[in-house]
């Protein structure tokens, strides 16, 4: 039996009681079209109301929601709130350095600023349907840039500011983006990130063709500007009238690159109407958001969590969203709780890796700050271990605040499995129950559905409005990645257990994707970066359990004939990965070996490499099919020696 933590008694205004959850969930799956049409009309403003909800098939793969409706997402996030909530705070900016003043924007001010940004984009020549790449620090202008794209019908592609110029170049090229929005520099703790210089380096790559770069002045640091191509935001912004573009519900809203098992990152495409509804509805229910509450999601807008829960979800609900530039341990380990006290945050949403890192520093950093404003806590990005859950619940939340452990993915647009506050009891380490309309299905390795309490591969058997529609420019890859392992079903890539109470426990990826500090990383991407080094013959990368990061990156390397492993090579290879991908992908372990375990047909046996990296030698399984069985002993020895 797993532990159950009772949810507090219903709050008087809760959006969902236990009974309401049951009734709504049932209706959302049995009468999905009527349910989602109602939700769509209730939560969004349409120019043309849709007459149909889902029109989809997973075989062949073709997904549409609300296809005959039209709307504008910026209008829904900003303009429509002006009559009633013009003076409500929309965004609170908390800078990296707490000594720098914070700044907030009301909805009226947000409207003024978004119009300026949209006009700046138009002045650069951005038109409906153009891809615009954002490479931004966590500042209000990042959110403005997303909204401004939505306003004029441009498709944003946000690239996390921690990615390298090479990674940025790859993403610019892949979606043929001709425009970039960036800042002079970003700040994270004591580090300065040379964003504009990185953009310049990315634009030097063959295949990247950018006509305009919009630069926001943030730190005031010295940067180079290329005449005719680069424009200071403050020079081209204007407050001329800028109406919202009427968009079809299925017009693309954004592309977000994410790692998969194979090849380069995929440009996951979300469209306007379904995504908007999913962000709005999940924010409303999962966080039980009440008018006037201050919501803080600590994710960067470079990840999907920032898209849905820094920008779109809160603003669609006329909420107040905190935009935090800094890091959890600067200037000290109490920064999160200091920000919560300062801005009277009611709902806080962060990643297990941050919780684990802060837990190590002791309770005093938390308890010395006033957390009485907190009502609900959330986690996302990776499984949370029960110990960290307990600490978050008891120390941070004072055993008062329900925790929502939200399982979802870039491809799902928003929450898919989570308990709802006041509607469900919690089990530390379990994400909980499916959100409305979500039909999880566990299957065995042959694709046979499994019933009741069981372990399996997590699929979703029916479409939901927030589902990604395709991989930008490559629908075959979309089908291959998500619908080919178990035909007719969306396969998440995650393993999962369902317990006797119908609670879902995500056990981690079952494909070649690893999750490092809540960031998705394709092992194939890290391998490609490593083998670019002239002294490397072959590389195989696996994840292994890491106390703080969840998973660490473990790389097996064979060198070219005659090359000796050395400390110098070790350092060069780490640097190589940082250059190709970015600091997020820095290997934790490099294990030089004289060979990789392969079958006689030459396939690398990753299972064995994973077990050795995990220091789990009892479960190596059958090694008799290896071309060189003695290699395993040498690999184990190499592992134990470090």
User: Residues marked as binding?
Assistant: 305, 329, 381-383, 405-410, 494, 509, 517, 520, 531, 533, 536, 578
**Considering the complex, what minimum distance in angstroms separates the CB of residue 385 from ligand WTA?**
11
Q: Residue for token digits 């954004």?
A: 254
Find the shortest distance in angstroms from Cβ 439 to ligand WTA.
Answer: 17
What three-state secondary structure class fits 5? strand
Place of tokens 């310049």: 200
For the chain, what is the total number of helices (H) and then of strands (E)? 21, 30
Nearer to ligand WTA, 303 or 312 (CB): 303
Question: How far is residue 398's CA from residue 65's CA, in Å, rounded to a whole number?
Answer: 42
Binding residues for CoA, as ranges, are 305, 329, 517, 578
d(CA 233, CA 120): 7
CB of 518 to ligand WTA, least distance (A): 7
DSSP code for 435: P
CB of 218 to ligand WTA, least distance (A): 26
Q: Do residues 421 and 449 make contact, with C-beta atoms less than 8 angstroms apart?
A: no
Q: Rounded CA gap, 277 and 553, in Å?
A: 36
Handedness of CA 606, 611, 615, 617 (dihedral sign): negative
From the list 480, 498, 522, the residue with the least C-alpha distance to 443 is 498
432/287 Cα distance (integer angstroms) = 14
- Residues 442, 33 contacting (CB under 8 angstroms): no
Contact 160, 303 (CB under 8 A): yes
> Tokens 């309770």 map to which residue?
363
Q: Which residue has the tokens 């530039």?
A: 325
Return d(Cα 476, Cα 158) in angstroms, integer.
23
Q: How does strand 252-258 pair with strand 266-271?
A: antiparallel
What does DSSP assign to residue 563?
Answer: P
**Nearest distance from C-beta of residue 287 to ligand WTA, angstroms:** 14
Taking the least distance from each CB to ligand WTA, the nearer of 304 and 340 is 304
Nearest 5°: phi and psi at 176?
A: 50, 50
Residues that bind ligand WTA (CB under 6 A): 258, 303-305, 380-383, 405-410, 431, 492-494, 506, 509, 515, 520
Length of the chain: 642
Q: What's the closest the beta carbon of residue 520 comes to ligand WTA, in angstroms?
A: 4
Helix residue ranges per DSSP H, 55-194: 73-77, 82-85, 107-123, 140-152, 165-174
The nearer residue to ligand WTA, 213 or 403, going by C-beta atoms, is: 403
Minimum distance from residue 181 beta carbon to ligand WTA (Å): 22
The encoded tokens of residue 528 equal: 């490609």
Q: Measured between alpha carbons, how far is 303 from 282 in angstroms, rounded to an integer?
A: 17
CA distances from 238 to 91, 117, 235 (A): 21, 8, 8
Beta 550-559 vs 536-546: how paired, if at all? antiparallel
DSSP 478: H
Task: Please give the annotated binding residues for Mg(2+), written as ranges.
Answer: 531, 533, 536
Give bridge partners of residue 170 from the DSSP assignment: none
CA distance 374 to 264: 40
Task: Give the shortest CB-303-to-ligand WTA separation in angstroms.
Answer: 6
> Which amino acids are annotated as binding site for ATP, given as ranges?
381-383, 405-410, 494, 509, 520
| Structural contact between residues 235 and 212, judged by C-beta atoms closer than 8 angstroms | no
408, 479 contact by CB (below 8 A): no
136 φ/ψ sector (left φ>0, alpha ψ -120 to 50, else beta): beta
The residue among 216 and 431 lying less far from ligand WTA, judged by its C-beta, is: 431
Q: Which single residue brings its beta carbon nearest to ligand WTA?
A: 410
CB of 237 to ligand WTA, least distance (A): 32
Q: Please name the helix (run of DSSP H) or strand (run of DSSP E) that holds residue 496, with its range, or none.
A: strand 490-498
Closest CA to 615 of 640, 584, 641, 586: 640
CA proximity to 388, closest of 403, 374, 407, 373: 403
Q: How far is the CB of 351 from ligand WTA (least distance, A)?
A: 9
Q: Is the CB of 325 or the CB of 405 nearer to ligand WTA?
A: 405
Sole residue written with tokens 């209000």:
140
Are the CB atoms for 50 and 68 separated by under 8 Å? yes
Residue closer to ligand WTA by CB (options 7, 410) is 410
């Amino acid at each position: 039996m797993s532990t159950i933590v009772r949810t507090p008694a219903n709050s008087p205004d809760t959006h969902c009681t236990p009974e309401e959850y049951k009734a709504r969930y049932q209706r959302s799956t049995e009468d999905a079209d009527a349910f989602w049409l109602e939700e769509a009309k209730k939560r969004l403003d349409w120019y043309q109301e849709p007459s149909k909800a889902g029109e989809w098939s997973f075989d062949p793969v073709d997904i549409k929601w609300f296809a005959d409706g039209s709307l504008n997402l910026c209008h829904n996030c900003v303009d429509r709130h002006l009559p009633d909530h013009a003076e409500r705070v929309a965004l609170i900016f908390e800078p990296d350095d707490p000594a720098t003043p914070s700044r907030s924007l009301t909805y009226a001010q947000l409207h003024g600023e978004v119009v300026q940004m949209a006009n700046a984009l138009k002045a650069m020549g951005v038109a409906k349907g153009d891809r615009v790449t954002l490479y931004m620090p966590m500042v209000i202008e990042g959110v403005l840039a997303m909204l401004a794209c939505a306003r004029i019908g441009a498709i944003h592609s946000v690239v996390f500011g921690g990615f390298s110029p090479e990674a940025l170049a790859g993403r610019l090229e892949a979606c043929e983006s001709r425009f970039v929005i960036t800042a002079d520099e970003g700040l994270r703790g004591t580090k300065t990130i040379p964003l504009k210089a990185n953009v310049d380096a990315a634009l030097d790559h063959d295949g990247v063709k950018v006509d305009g770069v919009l630069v926001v002045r943030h730190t005031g640091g010295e940067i180079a500007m290329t005449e005719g191509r680069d424009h200071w935001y403050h020079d081209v912004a204007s407050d001329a009238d800028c109406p919202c573009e009427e968009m079809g519900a299925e017009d693309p809203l954004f592309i977000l690159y994410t790692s998969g098992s194979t090849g380069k990152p995929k440009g996951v495409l979300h469209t306007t109407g379904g995504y908007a509804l999913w962000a709005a509805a999940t924010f409303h229910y999962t966080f039980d958001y009440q008018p006037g509450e201050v919501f803080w999601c600590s994710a960067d807008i470079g990840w999907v969590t920032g898209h849905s829960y820094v920008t779109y979800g809160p603003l669609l609900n006329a909420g107040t969203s905190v935009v935090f530039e800094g890091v959890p341990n600067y200037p000290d380990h109490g920064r999160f709780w200091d920000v919560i006290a300062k801005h009277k945050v009611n709902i806080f949403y962060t990643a297990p890796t941050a919780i684990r890192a802060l837990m190590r520093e002791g309770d005093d950093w938390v308890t010395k700050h006033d957390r009485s404003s907190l009502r609900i806590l959330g986690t996302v990005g990776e499984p949370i271990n029960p110990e960290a859950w307990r600490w978050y619940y008891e120390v941070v939340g004072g055993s008062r605040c329900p925790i929502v452990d939200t399982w979802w993915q870039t491809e799902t647009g928003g929450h898919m499995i989570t308990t709802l506050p006041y509607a469900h009891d919690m089990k530390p380490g379990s994400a909980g129950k499916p959100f409305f309309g979500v039909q999880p299905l566990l299957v065995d390795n042959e694709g046979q559905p499994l019933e009741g309490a069981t372990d399996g591969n997590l699929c979703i058997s029916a479409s939901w409005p927030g589902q990604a529609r395709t991989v930008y420019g490559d629908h075959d890859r979309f089908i291959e990645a998500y619908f080919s392992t178990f035909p007719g079903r969306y396969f998440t890539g995650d393993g999962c257990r369902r317990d006797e109470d119908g609670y879902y426990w995500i056990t981690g990826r079952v494909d070649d994707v690893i999750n490092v500090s809540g960031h998705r990383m394709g092992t194939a991407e890290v391998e490609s970066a490593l083998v670019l080094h002239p002294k490397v013959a072959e590389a195989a990368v696996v994840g292994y359990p890491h106390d703080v990061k969840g998973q660490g990156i473990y790389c097996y390397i064979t060198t070219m004939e005659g090359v000796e492993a050395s400390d110098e090579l070790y350092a060069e290879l780490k640097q190589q990965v940082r250059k190709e991908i970015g600091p997020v992908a820095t290997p934790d372990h490099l294990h030089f070996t004289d060979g990789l375990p392969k079958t006689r047909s030459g396939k690398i046996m990753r299972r064995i490499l994973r077990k050795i990296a995990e220091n789990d030698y009892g479960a190596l399984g059958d090694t008799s099919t290896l071309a060189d069985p003695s290699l395993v002993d040498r690999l184990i020895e190499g592992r134990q020696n470090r």
